[in-house]
Amino acid sequence: MQEIYTLNAFANIKAGGNLAAVMLDADNLNKKQMQEIARKIGFSETAFIEESKKASFKIDFFTPNKQVDICGHATIAAFTLLRDKKIISAGKYTQETLAGVLAINVEENAVFMQQNLPQYYNAPTVEEIAASLNIATGEINRQIPMQIVSTGLKDIMVPIKKLDTLLKLQPDFEQIKKISSTYDCIGMHVFSLETLYNSNAHCRNFAPLYEIYEEAATGTSNGALACYLYDNEIFPKKDFINLKFEQGEVLNRPAEIFVKLEAENKCIKNVFVGGNAQMQKSISI
């Protein structure tokens, strides 16, 4: 039997945030076994913590059908579990992932994970995106260029003018799958600068290609979003910026994702994504 811990990452209430599963001491498992466990659990991501020769810990991340390079909310869950189990205390750590060795700052009430510096790619056309979201092209905010952005995973950033439009979206998931496959992306991070709770943006994330039709909180996507907004000068380019993104409202799992950007001469030098996680239960499989 294997013991799995479940946590709500980025939760601002106990029932909020994004569920992640975490397994400690997973060194005895191979990749096929990890994938089978992730499939059985069925959460958007499961994190397997192992020993590392390069970092404080090695973590492998699996969706129900694929391994992914990095996962924000599962990282927050994993290091929250390590802290709450008193395996580690507040401090600075590193994690070895398929996206590289990344820094982790563990605080008493939050965990922040470093992400890669942003990379930008050409996005699909406005017409393709609008059709996949079942909205008119005029609903997309053309004042911000659509781009594919990665700070570890590639997402299509889709700015929507009105919050009401965003909340009522009924996506065509088959179309999003095709677009994601064509452009080699995880999925779409759709957002509005209009918000419910005085945040920097309200977000929805669709990744049906990975059997994740909608996520309540996506750390890597919001890290990429923060960089995208900074580089498109949506707010003044200061050297230190703290941002907050809201997500999960339509799933009745409200979440808060925090991003810290450090810049020098208006160029991003560091990206940290963080938040809280709350333990739910442990299960044996």
Domain encompassing residue 172: 119-272
Q: What is the pLDDT of residue 15?
A: 76
Return the DSSP state at 208.
G
Contact between 191 and 262 under an 8 Å Cβ cutoff? The reply is no
Q: Nearest CA to 245 among 208, 207, 190?
A: 190
Q: What is the pLDDT of residue 285?
A: 81
How many structural domains comprise the chain? 2
Question: DSSP string spanning 107-175?
Answer: -SS-EEEEEPPPEEEPPPPHHHHHHHHTS-GGGB-TTS--EEEESSSEEEEEEBS-HHHHHT----HHH
Same structural domain, 240 and 176: yes
Same structural domain, 108 and 13: yes
Which tens digit of pLDDT belongs to each residue from 21-55? 999 999 999 999 999 999 999 998 999 999 999 99
Same structural domain, 222 and 129: yes
pLDDT at residue 13 tops 80: no
Confidence grade of residue 94 (pLDDT, cut at 50, 70, 90): very high
Which tens digit of pLDDT belongs to each residue from 215-272? 999 999 999 999 999 999 999 899 999 999 999 999 999 999 999 999 999 999 999 9
Same structural domain, 138 and 254: yes
Same structural domain, 85 and 136: no
Same structural domain, 168 and 81: no
Q: Looking at residue 28, which CATH number applies to its domain? A: 3.10.310.10
* Residues known to be catalytic: 45
- The pLDDT of 89-104, averaged and rounded, is 95
Same structural domain, 28 and 81: yes
Same structural domain, 193 and 130: yes
Confidence grade of residue 283 (pLDDT, cut at 50, 70, 90): confident
